[in-house]
Amino acid sequence: MSTLNLRAKALSDVMGRQTKEVNPPSSRISDYYGVNVFNDQAMRMFLTVDAYNAVRSAIDRGERIDRRLADQVASGMKEWAASKGATHYTHWFQPLNGSSAEKHDAFFEPLGEGRSIERFDGGMLVQQEPDASSFPSGGIRNTFEARGYSAWDPGSPAFLIHNTLCIPTIFVSWTGEALDFKTPLLRSIRALDEAATAVCQYFDKDVKKVIATLGWEQEYFLIDESFYYARPDIMMAGRALFGHGPARGQQLEDHYFGSIPDRTHAFMREFETESLKLGIPVKTRHNEVAPNQFECAPVYEEMNLAVDHNMLLMDVMEKTARKHDLRVLFHEKPYSGVNGSGKHNNWSLATDTGVNLLRPAKTPKENIQFLAFFTNTIAAVHAHADVLRASIASAGNDHRLGANEAPPAIISVFIGGYLSGLLDDLEKNIKATMSPASKTELKLDIGRIPQVMLDNTDRNRTSPFAFTGNKFEFRAPGSSANCAGAMTVMNTIVAAQLRAFKKDVDALVDKGVKKDEAILRTIRDLIVHSKPVRFEGNGYSDAWKEEAAKRKLPNFPDTPRALDAWSRRETIALFRDTGVLSETEIKARHGIELHNYTLKVQIESRVCADMALNHVLPAAVQYQNRLIENVRGLREVMGAQAAEGATVTQVDLIRRISEHMEQVRTLSVGMTKARKAANTITDERERAIAYCDTVKPFMDQIRYHSNKLELLVDDELWPLPKMRELLFTR
């Protein structure tokens, strides 16, 4: 075996690993929670009253901060950051390449003659022009102007990482087009606030604002750093393109909620401590279903903040993992044959009066409000299931959706037996003209939504979109995704639906129908129309695919075609009318998503061919040579005829190795050809489809034959850490 066999080295590294415990600064989280955030407490300490009030009204009411006050805010922020040792600042934003971006500048400014000052003013706080020409813009910047601007988002507090003050910003072109995830998210939050507040007015005049809330659950895999370096596929593409399934996978289900391994535990404690210092309210941690798979979840927050916190958390996790000789895999499907990773998005709406609009309440009146928001959400998902599907489409998620305990690509809504029964009753009972008696009865019925429902006993893990007692849980988003993608769509479709709802109710009221009855009648219409999207059965079953087709629910199994939703007229109108995305922005995003898809599959395909030809084949040849030597030796010693019986197994192995090697080679050549052909296509959509239909299938076939070789070749010679090692060593 060559001394460079990284697998052997990795195995020995892993055996020698030590757990690196880092204790939190205090056993009481409240002692250090948020210490690295310029939060309300810090603002009160470091800002003038005027500056403080300006930031508060920007946060609470979206009001603009004038330049003079911005200077004061900047100065206070700098003081605070410097008091904690910060020397640099950066605008922190979320471009469409899927990660977060930062460019650090020092506060320091030379004055000449060897003197210098620390400078950070309102201008630097409010707006920057990062050299951002390499971020994806979908042609927006080429068409108009090359420049992109980052602009301060006061809704998300500045924070400190190492010695840098990070200022959350949006990222837009000079003509104001969104070049990031956050701009449309903020617009959608506002659209939803307006539409939902208007509907709340039917029930409670005191409601002035409705806040979208998000509680995400982040799933991930851990892998030892030495294994990571020995697997070019995982290093380059985030997932294993090779590897025979281990004898034992997740069938024993002994990992889920099992005791957390020591090294993992030390890693979790440290990244949680760092996250808590950054004000990320992480609360829950547990093992996930697959071996070496875990989950982290915070307490839910206002959505804009929750999105930032998720991006930040992923960053903190990656940095912390390295300290523990680990790597975090956020890929949706690092290992075929075991569960993939998702990022459940728990979505709800809260009023500024403290009511969760998706929590069934005690009084009949409040429950009509609950039902209004509940049924409007279902109706929105029904009407725009295609865009919701598009919002979670990615090369990685394609492997996960519909495979091993992940929701299918068909968007349906699960609400549980009790609420299904209730909606069915409402559908039957609310007549176009209601007698006063039946109305009271109905209201009483609604008033009796039992509290037991809130226990979440009625759980269906097979649904992509499930009501879980006081919120909807969107389970389809992929683990590596920015939550903002799915949440922007969610907010937008519900905003549009609530607007339509209000219009319908008002129209009935104008015709003389009493308000309560108008609301109930409109709710009934929603229940009737959105019925096909409700599904309580097993979402993993094939029967559901057939049933869904009968119900005319869209089912797009792959990303390039799922993304078509973005070019539909209805989608463009929806986003334009709600003010969330212009047609130009939608087109740009659609192009970027297609391009990202192509790039991902292209990288995978390159790594795959490289590994097939330069790792797998040489190992197979080496073992085959040993066999050949053995056969030759036996013939020499025993004589050709006498050796025949003694060499049957070896000769058979030699032949089978040759067959699979030939397949691996031919398929790799074929894949490279397919890639070259795809690369000549200029249309972004056509090219993505070519990668999906003609390049991607080769990888599965190459994996198949390589896995056969893995089973034939001497374990000692196999260069790639095997699946059992990746999944079961810790």
In the complex, the smallest distance separating the C-beta of residue 468 from ligand ADP, rounded to whole angstroms, is 6
Give the range of 208-216, 228-236, 393-401, 721-729 binding ligand ADP by CB under 6 A.
208-216
In the complex, the smallest distance separating the C-beta of residue 344 from Mg ion, rounded to whole angstroms, is 5
In the complex, the smallest distance separating the C-beta of residue 559 from ligand ADP, rounded to whole angstroms, is 27
3 state DSSP class of 534: strand
The nearer residue to ligand ADP, 456 or 582, going by C-beta atoms, is 456
The nearer residue to ligand ADP, 215 or 334, going by C-beta atoms, is 215
| 374 binding ligand ADP? (CB under 6 A) | no
Give the range of 168-176, 463-471, 490-498, 676-684 binding ligand ADP by CB under 6 A.
463-471
> How far apart (Å, rounded) are the C-alpha atoms in residues 431 and 114?
84
Query: Can you tell me which of 348, 369, 480, 492 binds ligand ADP, judged by CB under 6 A?
Result: 348
With the CA atoms of 252, 256, 259 and 265 taken in that order, what torsion angle do they form, in degrees rounded to the nearest 10?
Answer: 130
Q: Which does 213 bind (CB under 5 to 8 A by kind): Mg ion, ligand ADP, none?
A: ligand ADP
> How far apart (Å, rounded) are the C-alpha atoms in residues 380 and 117?
55
Query: Can you tell me which of 420, 460, 470, 567 binds ligand ADP, judged by CB under 6 A?
Result: 470
Q: Is the Cα dihedral 607, 609, 614, 615 positive or negative?
A: positive
The nearer residue to ligand ADP, 34 or 138, going by C-beta atoms, is 34
The nearer residue to ligand ADP, 456 or 555, going by C-beta atoms, is 456
Please name which of 366, 59, 79, 363 lies closest in space to residue 211, comparing C-alpha atoms.
59
The nearer residue to ligand ADP, 169 or 293, going by C-beta atoms, is 293
Within 8 A by CB and 6+ apart from 294, the residues are 219, 220, 221, 222, 260, 264, 268, 285, 286, 287, 288
The nearer residue to ligand ADP, 56 or 283, going by C-beta atoms, is 283
The nearer residue to ligand ADP, 310 or 530, going by C-beta atoms, is 310
In the complex, the smallest distance separating the C-beta of residue 453 from Mg ion, rounded to whole angstroms, is 16
**Is 646 in contact with 639 (CB distance < 8 Å)?**
no
The nearer residue to ligand ADP, 471 or 722, going by C-beta atoms, is 471
Please name which of 64, 61, 96, 57 lies closest in space to residue 581, comparing C-alpha atoms.
96
> How far apart (Å, rounded) are the C-alpha atoms in residues 105 and 125?
12
Q: Which does 264 bind (CB under 5 to 8 A by kind): Mg ion, ligand ADP, none?
A: none
Q: Which does 297 bind (CB under 5 to 8 A by kind): ligand ADP, Mg ion, none?
A: ligand ADP
- Cα 385 from chain centre: 18
Q: Which does 725 bind (CB under 5 to 8 A by kind): ligand ADP, Mg ion, none?
A: none
In the complex, the smallest distance separating the C-beta of residue 298 from ligand ADP, rounded to whole angstroms, is 6
> What token pair was written down for 219?
């799933």
Amino acid identity of residue 238, one-letter, is G
> What token pair was written down for 682?
């200029």
Site for Mg ion in 341-400 (CB under 5 A): 344
Query: Can you tell me which of 217, 224, 585, 593 binds ligand ADP, judged by CB under 6 A?
Result: 217
In the complex, the smallest distance separating the C-beta of residue 469 from Mg ion, rounded to whole angstroms, is 11
In the complex, the smallest distance separating the C-beta of residue 404 from Mg ion, rounded to whole angstroms, is 17
| 307 binding ligand ADP? (CB under 6 A) | no
Cβ count near 448 (within 10 Å): 12
Site for ligand ADP in 264-303 (CB under 6 A): 297-300
22's enclosing H/E stretch is none
In the complex, the smallest distance separating the C-beta of residue 347 from ligand ADP, rounded to whole angstroms, is 6
| 471 binding ligand ADP? (CB under 6 A) | yes
> How far apart (Å, rounded) are the C-alpha atoms in residues 438 and 593?
52
Q: Draw the binding track, 64-83, toward ligand ADP (x: CB under 6 A; -: no contact).
A: --------------------
> How far apart (Å, rounded) are the C-alpha atoms in residues 235 and 228?
6
The nearer residue to Mg ion, 239 or 344, going by C-beta atoms, is 344
**Is 476 in contact with 401 (CB distance < 8 Å)?**
yes
| 460 binding ligand ADP? (CB under 6 A) | no
Q: Which does 647 bind (CB under 5 to 8 A by kind): ligand ADP, Mg ion, none?
A: none
Give the range of 213-221, 559-567, 573-581, 594-602 binding ligand ADP by CB under 6 A.
213-221
Query: Can you tell me which of 47, 140, 211, 214 binds ligand ADP, judged by CB under 6 A?
Result: 214
In the complex, the smallest distance separating the C-beta of residue 343 from Mg ion, rounded to whole angstroms, is 11
- Helix H, strand E, coil C: the string for 207-258 is CCCEEEEEEEEEEEEEEEHHHHHHCHHHHHHCCCCCCCCCCCCCCCCCCCCC
> How far apart (Å, rounded) are the C-alpha atoms in residues 694 and 670?
10
Q: Is the Cα dihedral 95, 100, 104, 107 positive or negative?
A: positive
DSSP string, 368-424: HHHHHHHHHHHHHHHHTHHHHHHHT--HHHHHHTTSSSS--SS--EE--HHHHHHHH
**Is 403 in contact with 332 (CB distance < 8 Å)?**
no
Query: Can you tell me which of 287, 320, 346, 397 binds ligand ADP, judged by CB under 6 A?
Result: 346
The nearer residue to ligand ADP, 33 or 566, going by C-beta atoms, is 33
In the complex, the smallest distance separating the C-beta of residue 192 from Mg ion, rounded to whole angstroms, is 22
Please name which of 460, 467, 302 lies closest in space to residue 377, comparing C-alpha atoms.
467
Q: Which does 470 bind (CB under 5 to 8 A by kind): Mg ion, ligand ADP, none?
A: ligand ADP
Cβ count near 404 (within 10 Å): 18
| Nearest residue relative to ligand ADP (C-beta) | 215
Q: How many residues bind ligand ADP (CB under 6 A)?
A: 15
Quote the crossing angle between the two packed helices 364-383 and 182-200, to the nearest 10°: 140
> What token pair was written down for 656?
């089978």
Q: Which long-range contacts (CB under 8 A, 24 or more apart) does 27-32 make?
A: 29/276, 32/273, 32/276, 32/277
The nearer residue to ligand ADP, 231 or 471, going by C-beta atoms, is 471
Strands 465-467 and 413-414: parallel
The nearer residue to ligand ADP, 209 or 443, going by C-beta atoms, is 209
The nearer residue to ligand ADP, 377 or 647, going by C-beta atoms, is 377
Q: Which does 471 bind (CB under 5 to 8 A by kind): ligand ADP, Mg ion, none?
A: ligand ADP
In the complex, the smallest distance separating the C-beta of residue 601 from ligand ADP, rounded to whole angstroms, is 32
In the complex, the smallest distance separating the C-beta of residue 474 from Mg ion, rounded to whole angstroms, is 10
Give the range of 178-186, 339-347, 360-368, 528-536 binding Mg ion by CB under 5 A.
339-347
The nearer residue to ligand ADP, 299 or 573, going by C-beta atoms, is 299
Phi-psi region of 395 (alpha: psi -120 to 50; beta: other; left: phi over 0): alpha
The nearer residue to ligand ADP, 483 or 709, going by C-beta atoms, is 483
| Nearest residue relative to Mg ion (C-beta) | 344
Cβ count near 330 (within 10 Å): 21
Binding site for Mg ion (CB under 5 A): 344
Which stretches of the chain bind ligand ADP, using CB under 6 A? 213-215, 217, 297-300, 346, 348, 356, 456, 468, 470-471
